[in-house]
Structure 1
Amino acid sequence: MPLPFTQSEFFDVMAAYNRAVWPAQFALEFSAVAVVWLAFRRVASAGVWVSAILALLWTWTGVAYHWAFFAVINRAAWVFGSICLAGAVAFAWFGVARRRIKVSFKLGKRGLFGWVLIAFALVVYPALGVLVGHHYPASPTFGLPCPTTIFTVGVLLLTTPDTPRWVFVVPVIWSAIGASAAFLLGVYQDLGLVVSGLAAAWAMFSDVRSGPPELPASR
């Protein structure tokens, strides 16, 4: 099925977004650094703050990118933005309101892989973009859906096993959707989404997470 836009239009929208929101990219990067710092702090409230930051990041990518810019060339962006907002709600509900997400500094296999994904999203992803010829402003910066997804999965791998499965749903969905850009649009750094999607699905359904997903309690 052909895309409703060309590769050139896709990168033109990305360039328009980056120019319009400048210098918000620095604030988005700083929020990611704050998440890393909180993971190292090992304080009881880290999970709440990390969840709040992730909720803001997913709100940003849904509204500031999908609805405000990507929707100009692709009507599906309204659906994509809604999916991102669903992810934001999941983090706000389970992580902030319910305090069900706990982040800790881990050095086990799962934790190490989480740190690898975080490093990929923040350092390797933009470097690969330059190598394949995507130069600012026509390049995916942090805060856009794909690097945000990889970063989010990395953070989720640092959470305790009782983290609700619902917070994994949107990162898994976007890993599947976004990975197509690697092949259809030449954004080859998005191949990292294949790895992040598999990692999130594994963590979501690993044997340490028994029972069905927990629905929000009714009021």
Structure 2
Amino acid sequence: MLQQYCDRWIFRTRHQPTLAASEPACRRARGALVDAHQTRPSAAAHLSMDRGGVMLPFTYEQFVDVFATYNTRIWPAQVLAYLVALAILFGLKRRSANLVCAGLALMWLWTGVAYHWMHFASINKAAWLFGALFVLEGALLLLIGATGRIRFGTGAGPLGVVGWGFIAYATVAYPLLGLWTGHGYPRMPTFGVTPCPVTIFTFGVLLLARPVVPKSVLVVPLLWSLVGGSAAFLLQVPQDWVLLFSGAAALPMLLRKDSRTVPAST
């Protein structure tokens, strides 16, 4: 609007000599407006300029910078996460639902508080909600483990194959794929302490449950597989692409097993 006003004023100065003195100033003002329009990005461009026009409340660089800061601050929690995973695998072998669920709960609680609330929320306000859901999932896992509402085995048949596949992917293939695709440490999600590998690992463990999995513990992992999995495609994080598939594959298998099995008394 101001630029159009300057154009009209310049036109008038050419036909009214009494206004000619103001023409240079008006031309300078118009030039400043044009320069500002060309050099200053809009709010929408700020949301999407880094990776393929993606409309997100943060840029790709901000996203990986959060991982860099987070991984640096929490070290050596990444190593301890693998020890927790070993404890979970030991619990599967011993068929200890308490140990398995406690280990998974620790991962979800840590990720909800330390990652979502204390770090990711600095660039995405939705992380406050994400963190609350992760804390809720951790509490549910503790509850079902303590009350004996779930049992585990070492896995057999198609569910066991897919379950162990997800476990192997989350613990081994995930970080290697991240390094191979150029996401070097510490600017990368790490196992056991960031949302996507925790969710994939959890789906793998739940596929080894018997005879059924309480539906309440499937809601948050499924939601995150949709949210995190779609964001992985938008932000071009290849190691997280399996997340979207994990929810789509695990949920029908778990529900199908539920429909065919009568829960054992506890």
TM-score, normalization by structure 2:
0.75
TM-score by length of 1: 0.90
Q: Does the CA-based 8 Å contact 2:207-2:254 persist in structure 1?
A: no
**Are 2:92 and 1:27 equivalent residues in the alignment?**
no
Distance in 2 (CA, whole Å) between partners of 1:170 and 1:57 is: 14
Match of 2:16 in 1: none
Name the residue aligned to 2:61: 8
Q: Of the two structures, which has the highest relative contact order with CA contacts closer than 8 Å and spacing of 6 or more?
A: 1
Q: Can you list the C-alpha shifts for 1:24-70, whole angstroms capped at 9, x where unaligned?
A: 1111111012111221234xxx1111101111110011000000000
Cα-to-partner distance string for 1:117-136 (whole Å, 9 max, x where unaligned): 00000001111101110000
**Which residue of 142, 145, 157 corresponds with 1:95?**
145
Hey, what does 1:216 align to over in structure 2?
A: none
One-letter code aligned to 1:199: A
Q: What is the CA deviation profile of residues 132-191 of structure 1, one whole-angstrom value per residue up to 9, with x for unaligned ones?
A: 100000010012000000000000000013321111111111100111232221111111
Q: Which amino acid aligns with 2:229?
A: A
Paired residue secondary structure (1:91):
helix
In the aligned structure 2, how far is the partner of 1:94 from the partner of 1:41? 17
The corresponding residue for 2:136 is: 86
1:207 Cα offset (Å)? 5.2
Q: Secondary structure at the match of 1:209?
A: helix
Aligned residues of 1:54 and 1:88 also touching (Cα < 8 A): yes
Per the alignment, residue 185 of structure 1 pairs with 235
| Contact 1:94 1:101 (C-alpha < 8 Å) held by counterparts | yes
Q: More helix per residue: 1 or 2?
A: 2
The residue that corresponds to 2:209 in the other structure is 159
Asked if 2 retains the 8 angstrom alpha-carbon contact of 1:168 and 1:200, the reply is: no
Gaps of 5+ in 2: 1-53, 262-266
Per the alignment, residue 7 of structure 2 pairs with none
Q: Percent of pairs identical after alignment?
A: 47
Would you say how many aligned residue pairs link Structure 1 and Structure 2? 207
User: Contact between 1:48 and 1:101, CA under 8 Å: does it hold in 2?
Assistant: no
2:70 match: 17
Please point out which of 175, 179, 186 is paired with 1:137.
186
Residues 226 and 247, structure 2, Cα contact 8 Å, conserved in 1: yes
Q: Distance in 1 between matches of 2:214 and 2:259?
A: 9
> In angstroms, what is the RMSD of aligned CA positions?
1.5
Q: Which has the larger radius of gyration?
A: 2
User: 2:156 aligns to what?
Assistant: 107
Q: Is the 8 A contact 1:5 1:74 kept in 2?
A: yes
Task: Say which SS state the counterpart of residue 55 (structure 1) adopts.
Answer: helix
For structure 1, list consecutive stretches of 5 or more residues without a partner in the other structure.
212-219
